[in-house]
Chain A
Amino acid sequence: MVFTTQVFVFYFLPLFLLVYYNLPYRWRNVWITLGSYVFYGWWEPWFAGLMLFTTVMDFIWGKVITRPGATPLQRKLAVVACVVTNLSLLGFFKYYMFAAETLNQILAAVGSQQFRVLQVILPIGISFYTFHSLTYILDLYRGHATPAKSFSVFSAFVALFPDLVAGPIIRYKTLAEQLHEREHTVSRFASGVAIFIVGFAKKILLANPCGVVADGVFNAANPCALEAWVGALAYAFQIYFDFCGYSDMAVGLGRMLGFEFLKNFDAPYRSESITELWRRWHISLSSVLRDYLYFALGGNRKGEGRTYFNLAVVMVLGGLWHGAKWNFVLWGAFHGLFLAFERWLGKRSLYAAMPRPARIGLTFLLMLFSWVLFRADNLTAAMEYFRAMLGLGPVGSVAPLLAATIYTPYHLLILAVCAGLVFQPLQAHDWSQSPVTWPRTALVVPLFVFSLMTMFSQAFNPFLYFQF
């Protein structure tokens, strides 16, 4: 199910909340689990079976790891087995086809017989719930968390629908206490409603129209340089408001259920360097990669050269986490390279001496280039797009017609609003921390009504991060 659909807003959510708040406290986690399985299985019912399998398996591995009397070796073997099983599942569903097709290309290049590639359907959100579940096992192993007291608590954690399919990636230790005991207050619920509405509006009013512009340009044959830049800009806005909007909605829904999730975005396009950007963009993924991968590789404790290497490896794997395409690998490498380079400069950007607006502008410019890698269908298309942006490529014979579809007053207005919003410091998450007042209510209620009305008229409504 998608948050910005009628079936979620008008059927699932009111029914879910109605039952949730009429159940005794001890049954609420069970209801969260049941509701979340309906939410997830709505795409494809067998996806829910796969998630249940992962959940049961990791719950049992957790028991093995924390079994009284378990030796360090047994614990280590258990955690390795758990990580391998989880990553194998993820690898099969997400990376098998990529690996097999790459191998076939190599075989074709050397003139060998190619093999038939099995068509595997990627279960939506598998990367997110696999990471959720893995953080539980790793936190148990490291002694950072205590095992879930019951299967209903653990299954509620893994399946929790607000953050299930597109994050934020919430670690078990962050939610452990809240899963056992959480406060359901009017002020928390109201602030949840407020941030949910803001996220909803970001998605419907900003991300979707930007997506129309971005898709139009990225799907076009050899666009002119100006349109290529507008397309990249539109995609930068789309992915930010899409993902940030989803995170806001997740935080809001979490609050409606009494949970408090961490902030996932912090005005990333105001970053003055790539290093800073990764402290502000998809914060939950950055911190998981840092704590469970970068530190595991030795972090910065094994010398300068190894630190750069670790940064690059983490970002390449982070890129691959987003999807099984060479574009994502290159996107990760691009960021890894800049992180390592800025580390070498003393955690400063190459343009640190410039005035602040220039630093922000240049960082944003680097992001725009990296988003092209992220958005393009394949590496060839990405390279063509770069050439178009730089005015080095051929301009398609009918390319000027793009102007008619993207430079409408509607799209220009939306792009201008987006530009105004991404470079201002106030973030919905911070804004929603303070109590809901009459002016805020007067703002968000009409915003919700307007967003719903707009949703009714939109046919284009994808969530970009679901594919990851």
Chain B
Amino acid sequence: MNRLRDPQWFLILMFLGIIASVPLIQTVIEARRDDGVRAFDVFSQAPTAANLRAYERSLEAANWAAQVSRPWIQFAQFEWLKDGGEKAVIAPEGWYFYKPGLNYMLARIEKAKPAGATNDPLPAIVDFRDQLAARGIRLVLMPVPNKESIYPDRLTSRADALLGVVAPRTRDLLERLRAANVEVIDLFKEFHEARQQTGAISPASLYLAQDTHWSPVGVDLAAKAVARRLKELGWVQPGRVEYGERSVPVRRLGDILRMMQVPLIERRVNSETVPCVQVVRGDRGELYKDAPESEILVLGDSFVRIYQQDEPRAAGFIAHLAKELKQPLFSLVNDGGGSTLVRQELRGRPAFLKNKKVVLWEFVERDIGLGLEGWKLVPLPPAASPSSPGPVNNSADVNEPKKPGRLN
């Protein structure tokens, strides 16, 4: 005990106590759980760089000290220093933005350009369009703007002049898509125009304040834009199902706040009230349901899922597009996988393309640079029926005459 009265000994013992007690307590915790002590896992694997990194990550993830202290530090940074860490940017008036999405917008094109050619969205999109065309199916592409593309002025007052500006890399892709005759629904234009009409601080925001996703207002606008374009192109026959609407407000804590994984923050921030609008069949009063036999297949990510498969259900983009087109649709959704994963999923489901005439492919803007699995070329599933219709001209201009020798 006398040694503890010496500051040198005290410091040494405190230091050694801290660095030794954390793994010792961890060992005790894991031993009591009877699920094996992670620290010993290093002896059960070949010492390759990949195994060692995985081992290190597993130790870090399980560390009791980290689990206890991390929320407090993150909460302090969030609450007092307005720092949202890796995932969030905290903007004034209760708005939050997804940091990787913002970084995508800011990045230099050469910096953001992926190394492999297959990571360029254009070849993957054109290849998908051409494969569909060979089966008589037309592709409509719908990149959904990042929230920060539509609400830059919510991030910083210096961005007031940025309304209507599209990030360089997105602009580059949109131009190349146009040049490749890919049919694109330009939600950037639609949303920017809507913002100019409603003003900067309209209560009817197109995106949720705490979330990366669009609001019911944004959903409705997008659905109307797609329906309008499909009708203009004549790619879809008008349906005859009458749908009605039902207002259902829901409380929702934004995904940006949830991504921080700090319960203290989630408790501190009030969730948003989202005025959802469910779509119901006019004749039966049932909530909208997908129909596998539909001629339209919607592929997409969480923008398609929100309000549709989530609470309150049948209030998302698909239901509202169905209402506009007066016919049920069919859909395949992969959260965060709008670039490649959803097409890979489609490949395993040949029946999903049966009877289809139009595929609407939605992905979020940031996936242009940050898409999970990049932008791989993915073959379509084997044809479900031998009597598939012949190839179609799937180019942007439907009136354009077929070019000889070109695969339509």
Contacts and interface: CB of A to CB of B under 8 A. Distances in A.
Most buried by A among B11, B18, B56: B11
Interface of A: 5-7, 9-11, 13-14, 17-18, 41-45, 186-187, 189-190, 193-194, 197, 216, 219-222, 377, 381, 396-405, 407-411, 413, 435-438, 440-441, 444-445, 448-449, 452-454, 456-457, 459-460
B176 interface: no
B107 interface: yes
Interface string B4-17: 00111111101110
Nearest 8 Cβ contacts at the A-B interface:
A410-B81, A410-B83, A190-B8, A456-B66, A404-B155, A400-B158, A453-B69, A221-B108
A441 B155 contact: no
Contacts of A441: 7, 10-11, 14
Given A186-B12, A400-B159, A445-B11, A6 B60 contact: yes
B369 to A, nearest CB: 11
A226 B52 CA distance: 42
Most buried by B among A11, A399, A407, A449: A11
Given A42-B52, A377-B111, A456-B69, A400 B8 contact: no
A44 B49 CA distance: 5
B259 interface: no
Contacts of B271: none
Nearest to A378: B110
A220 B168 CA distance: 11
A398 B63 contact: no
B102 A405 contact: yes
Contacts, number: 176
Given A5-B56, A45-B48, A457-B85, A437 B16 contact: no
A18 B52 CA distance: 23
A460 B99 CA distance: 14
Contacts of B102: 401, 404-405
Interface stretch (B86-94, B222-230, B248-256): B86-94
Contacts of B72: 453
Contacts of B18: 448-449, 452
7 contacts: A10-B59, A14-B20, A193-B12, A396-B106, A404-B155, A405-B89, A445-B11
B59 A11 contact: yes
Contacts of A216: 103, 106
B121 interface: no
A454 B7 contact: no
Nearest to A13: B19
Contact of B108 (A18, A219, A401, A449): A219
B97 to A, nearest CB: 7
Interface string B317-333: 00000000000000000
Nearest to A453: B69
Contacts of A14: 16, 19-20, 23
Given A221-B107, A377-B111, A190 B11 contact: yes
B124 interface: no
A450 B80 CA distance: 16
Interface of B: 6-12, 14-16, 18-20, 22-23, 26, 39, 47-49, 52, 55-56, 59-60, 63, 65-66, 69-70, 72-74, 77, 80-83, 85-86, 89-91, 97, 99, 102-103, 105-109, 111, 148, 152, 155-156, 158-159, 161-162, 165-168
A459 B208 CA distance: 27
Contacts of A189: 8, 12
Contacts of A405: 89, 99, 102-103, 106
B290 to A, nearest CB: 37
A395 B80 CA distance: 32
B59 A398 contact: no
A17 B19 CA distance: 11
Contacts of A194: 11
A219 B90 CA distance: 21
A401 B9 contact: no
A460 B72 CA distance: 18
B212 to A, nearest CB: 15
B11 A403 contact: no
Contacts of A5: 56, 60
Nearest to B170: A398
Contacts of B107: 219-221
Nearest to A407: B156
Given A190-B11, A410-B81, A410-B83, A6 B63 contact: yes
B81 A413 contact: yes
A168 to B, nearest CB: 22
B63 A11 contact: no
A147 to B, nearest CB: 33
A408 B156 contact: no
B110 to A, nearest CB: 8
A283 to B, nearest CB: 27
Given A186-B8, A410-B77, A441-B7, A221 B109 contact: yes
B106 A220 contact: yes
Nearest to B60: A6
A96 to B, nearest CB: 20
Given A6-B56, A14-B19, A410-B81, 7 more contacts: A219-B111, A220-B108, A398-B105, A408-B82, A436-B7, A449-B18, A456-B69
A408 B89 CA distance: 9
A409 B59 contact: no
Contacts of B82: 408-410
Contacts of A408: 81-83, 90
B47 A45 contact: yes
B73 A45 contact: no
A41 B161 CA distance: 52
B162 A398 contact: yes
B152 A401 contact: yes
Given A449-B18, A452-B65, A219 B49 contact: no
Nearest to B105: A398
A43 B50 CA distance: 9
Contacts of A403: 155-156, 158-159
A436 B11 contact: yes
B106 A398 contact: yes
A377 B110 CA distance: 10
Contacts of A43: 49
A377 to B, nearest CB: 7
B11 A444 contact: yes
A284 B85 CA distance: 36
A435 B8 contact: yes
A272 B74 CA distance: 40
Contacts of A222: 108
Contact of B23 (A10, A402, A413, A438): A10
A41 B47 contact: yes
Nearest to A46: B49
Contacts of A18: 20
Contact of A193 (B15, B59, B155): B15
Contacts of A377: 111
Contacts of A411: 83
Given A219-B108, A221-B108, A398-B165, A440 B7 contact: yes
Contacts of A436: 7-8, 11
A197 B15 CA distance: 9
B175 to A, nearest CB: 14
A459 B73 CA distance: 13
A313 B99 CA distance: 44
Contacts of B81: 408-410, 413
Most buried by B among A187, A222, A397: A397
A409 B84 CA distance: 11
B7 A438 contact: yes
Given A410-B81, A457-B70, A400 B7 contact: no
